Amino acid sequence: MSERRTSWAAILGRTVGRTSVQVIAESDQKDEGTVRLRVNPQNAGPAPRIHFAEDAPVTDKKPQLKDQFLTTNALRVNFLVVDPSGQYETGDVGNGTQVATFFVGEIPVNAAFIEAILKTTLEKFMPDTPVTMTFRKAHFNSGHDLKDFAEKLGLELNPGDVEQ
């Protein structure tokens, strides 16, 4: 005889919370302009449905994820988690955003070049998109040039950030 477990919330006809989604971007070493997202439903019952829309609003009419992963080249992916059991209310929409990555080999570039790349890239994103710039190596003619570059971009330089 199989044992059936039912929560008190289900017996009383109440929901116990709202569905949500956790989205984790996994890096892609091939750097082909795609990102692999791992999508984890939260508070979603035993068999959740996860709908998604790339660069558009999401509804329960949009396609469903077939598994836990989505590989995309979209700048933004919206997710909606639905619990068909009714234990959890459909909650907030979650989203995952893509990261724009540029690799420039060890060639001399100036601040205007970097500023042009940044300006062109930001035209594709919302104005409040956070930006992180990482330099493995940068060469400046002088410490004054480095300081000027950092000030123009609003970068804070700390004592351990610079090697001479």
pLDDT digits (tens, 9 = 90+) for 15-45: 568 888 888 877 655 657 778 888 999 888 8
154 pLDDT more than 80: no
Residue 104 CB-density burial (10 A; 0-12 exposed, 13-18 middle, 19+ buried)? exposed
Q: Set out the domains of the chain in order of their start, with CATH numbers.
A: 11-97 (2.60.40), 111-161 (no CATH)
Give the span between the Cα atoms of 108 and 70, in whole angstroms. 37
pLDDT for position 147? 83
Q: Strand pairing of 69-72 and 35-42?
A: antiparallel
Backbone angles phi, psi at 8, to 5 degrees: -60, -35
**Start-to-end CA span in the chain (Å):** 75
Residue 118 CB-density burial (10 A; 0-12 exposed, 13-18 middle, 19+ buried)? middle
Give the span between the Cα atoms of 106 and 113, in whole angstroms. 14
Q: Strand pairing of 69-72 and 20-26?
A: unpaired
Give the span between the Cα atoms of 53 and 46, in whole angstroms. 23
Q: Which pair of tokens denotes residue 22?
A: 């956790």
12 pLDDT more than 70: no
pLDDT for position 144? 85
1 pLDDT more than 50: no
pLDDT digits (tens, 9 = 90+) for 125-148: 777 777 776 667 777 788 888 888
pLDDT for position 11? 47
Q: Which pair of tokens denotes residue 120?
A: 């062109």
pLDDT digits (tens, 9 = 90+) for 82-111: 999 888 888 877 666 665 556 656 667 676
The residue-averaged pLDDT of 154-163 equals: 78
